[in-house]
A and B are shown apart, each in its own frame.
Chain A
Amino acid sequence: MGSLSTHEFLKSVRRRRRADSLFMVVVLSATLVSTLTLIVIFTTLSVESVAFFTHASILEFLTGTKWTVLFAEKHYGILPLLNATVLTSLIAIAVSAPAGIAAAIYLSEYAGPRFRNIAKPVIETLSGVPTVVYGYFALYLVTPNLLRVFWEGISIHNALAVGLMIGILTLPIVVAISDDALKAVPNDLRLAAYSLGSRKIDVVFRVVLPAALSGVVASIILAFARAMGETLIAAIAGGFRPVLSFDPGESMQTMTSYIAQVATGDAPHGTVEYQSLFAVGFLLLLITATLNFIGLRVIRRWEIKY
Chain B
Amino acid sequence: MSAEDLLEKIKVIIREEESVEGADVEKDAAIATEGLSVSYNGRLAVEGVNLKFRSNTITAIIGPSGCGKSTVLRSLNRMNDLVPGARVTGKVLFRGVDIYSKDVDPVFIRSRIGMVFQRPNPFPMSVFDNVAFGLRVNGFKLTKDEMKKRVQEALIKAALWDEVKDRLDAHAYSLSGGQQQRLCIARALAVEPEVLLLDEPTVSLDPISTSKIERLLVAIKHDYTIIIVTHNMQQAARVSDYTAVMMTDENLVGRVTEFGPTKEIFTSPKDQRTEAYISGRVS
**Contact status of A193 and B133, CB under 8 A, knowing A188-B119, A198-B107, A199-B107:** yes
B114 within 8 A of A: yes
A15 touches B (CB below 8 Å)? no
- CB contacts (< 8 Å) of A192 on chain B: these are 117, 121-123, 184, 187
Residue in A189, A191, A206, A305 whose CB lies within 8 Å of B82: A191
A207 close to B (CB within 8 Å): yes
Any chain A CB within 8 A of the CB of B188?
Answer: yes
- When A189-B123, A210-B124 are in contact, do A196 and B134 touch as well, CB less than 8 Å? yes
A211 touches B124 (CB 8 A): yes
- Write the A234-277 contact mask toward B (1 if CB under 8 angstroms, else 0): 00000000000000000000000000000000000000000000
Q: Mark B170-197, 1 if CB is under 8 A from A, else 0.
A: 0000000000000010011001000000
Is the pair B137, A195 in contact by a Cβ cutoff of 8 Å?
A: no
Q: How far is the CA of A193 from the CA of B160 in the complex (A)?
A: 21
A303 within 8 A of B: no
- List residues 189-227 of chain A with CB under 8 A from any CB of chain B: 189-199, 202, 206-207, 210-211
Cβ of B124 and Cβ of A305 under 8 Å apart?
A: yes
Asked if B117 and A197 sit within 8 Å, CB to CB, the answer is no
Give the residues in chain A near B110, CB-CB below 8 Å: 194-197
Bound complex: CA A28 to CA B188 (Å): 55
> Is the CB of A98 closer than 8 A to any CB of chain B?
no
- When the two chains form their complex, are residues A202 and B137 in contact, meaning their CB atoms are under 8 A apart? yes
The smallest beta-carbon distance between A186 and chain B, in angstroms, is 7
Bound CA–CA A242/B112 (angstroms):
65
Bound Cα distance from A305 to B79, whole angstroms: 27
Interface assignment of B55: CB less than 8 Å from any CB of chain A: no
B108–A189 CB distance below 8 A: no
Q: B111 and A197: CB pair below 8 A?
A: yes
Instruction: Please determine whether A188 and B121 come into contact, CB atoms closer than 8 angstroms.
Output: yes
Residues of A within 8 A of B122 (CB): 192
Q: Total number of A-B contacts with CB less than 8 angstroms?
A: 64
**CB-nearest residue of chain B to A192:** B121
Shortest CB-to-CB span from A196 to chain B, Å, is 4
Minimum CB–CB distance for B81 against chain A, Å = 9
Asked, given contacts A188-B117, A198-B137, whether A211 binds B82 with beta carbons under 8 Å apart, the answer is no
Q: Does B115 contact A (CB under 8 A)?
A: yes
Establish whether residues B77 and A207, one from each chain, have CB atoms under 8 Å apart when the complex forms.
Answer: no
Contact with A along B100-136 (1 / 0, CB 8 A): 0000000110111011010101111100000001101
Alpha-carbon distance between A190 and B123 when the two chains are bound, in angstroms:
9
The residue of chain A having its C-beta at the shortest distance from the C-beta of B6 within the complex is A197
Q: How many residues of B contact A (CB 8 A)?
A: 26
Contacts of B119 in A (CB 8 A): 188
Residues of A within 8 A of B136 (CB): 206
Question: Cβ of B138 < 8 Å from any Cβ of A?
Answer: yes
Residues of B within 8 A of A197 (CB): 107-108, 110-112, 134, 137-138, 191
B188 A196 Cβ-Cβ under 8 A: yes
Q: A191–B110 Cα gap in the complex (Å)? A: 11
Q: What's the nearest-Cβ distance from chain B to residue A204, in Å?
A: 12
**Which of A195, A198, A206 has most chain B Cβ within 10 Å?**
A195
Q: How far is the CA of A23 from the CA of B279 in the complex (A)?
A: 61
Q: How far is the CB of A112 from chain B (nearest CB, A)?
A: 9
Across-interface contacts of A198 in B (CB, < 8 A): 107, 137
Tell whether, in the assembled complex, residue B111 and residue A186 are in contact, meaning their CB atoms are under 8 Å apart: no
Collect the chain B residues with CB atoms within 8 Å of residue A199's CB: 107, 137
Please judge, given known A-B contacts A197-B134, A206-B137, whether A191 and B188 are in contact too, CB under 8 Å.
no
- In the complex, the chain B residue whose C-beta lies closest to that of A201 is B137
Contacts of B111 in A (CB 8 A): 196-197
A199 to B119, CA, bound (A): 22
> How many whole Å from B71's CB to the nearest CB in chain A?
14
Minimal beta-carbon separation of B146 from chain A (angstroms): 18
Shortest distance from the beta carbon of B69 to any chain A beta carbon, whole Å? 17
CB distance A196 to B125 under 8 Å?
Answer: no
Which chain A positions have C-beta within 8 A of B137? Answer: 193, 196-199, 202, 206
Contact yes or no, A196 B133, CB < 8 A = yes
Are A195's CB and B114's CB within 8 A?
yes
Q: Give the distance in Å from the alpha carbon of A195 to the alpha carbon of B184 in the complex.
A: 11
List, in ascending order, chain B residues with CB within 8 A of A186's CB.
Answer: 121
B79 close to A194 (CB less than 8 A): yes
Contact A191 B117 (CB under 8 A): yes
Contact A211 B123 (CB under 8 A): yes
Could you tell me the distance between the alpha carbons of A228 and B12 in the complex, rounded to whole angstroms? 62
Cβ of A141 to closest chain B Cβ, rounded Å: 42
Q: Which residues of B lie under 8 Å from residue A190 when comparing CB positions?
A: 82
Chain B nearest CB: distance from A11 CB in Å?
A: 54
Q: Can you name 16 A-B residue pairings with CB atoms under 8 Å?
A: A188-B119, A188-B121, A189-B121, A191-B79, A194-B110, A195-B110, A195-B117, A195-B188, A196-B114, A196-B133, A196-B187, A197-B112, A198-B137, A199-B137, A206-B133, A211-B123
Residues on B lying within 8 angstroms of A by beta carbon are 77, 79, 82, 107-108, 110-112, 114-115, 117, 119, 121-125, 133-134, 136-138, 184, 187-188, 191
Rank and list the top 3 A-B pairs by shortest CB-CB distance, nearest first. Answer: A197-B111, A196-B134, A195-B115
Apart from A190-B82, A207-B123, A211-B124, what are 5 other A-B pairs with CB-CB below 8 Å?
A189-B123, A193-B123, A196-B110, A199-B137, A202-B137
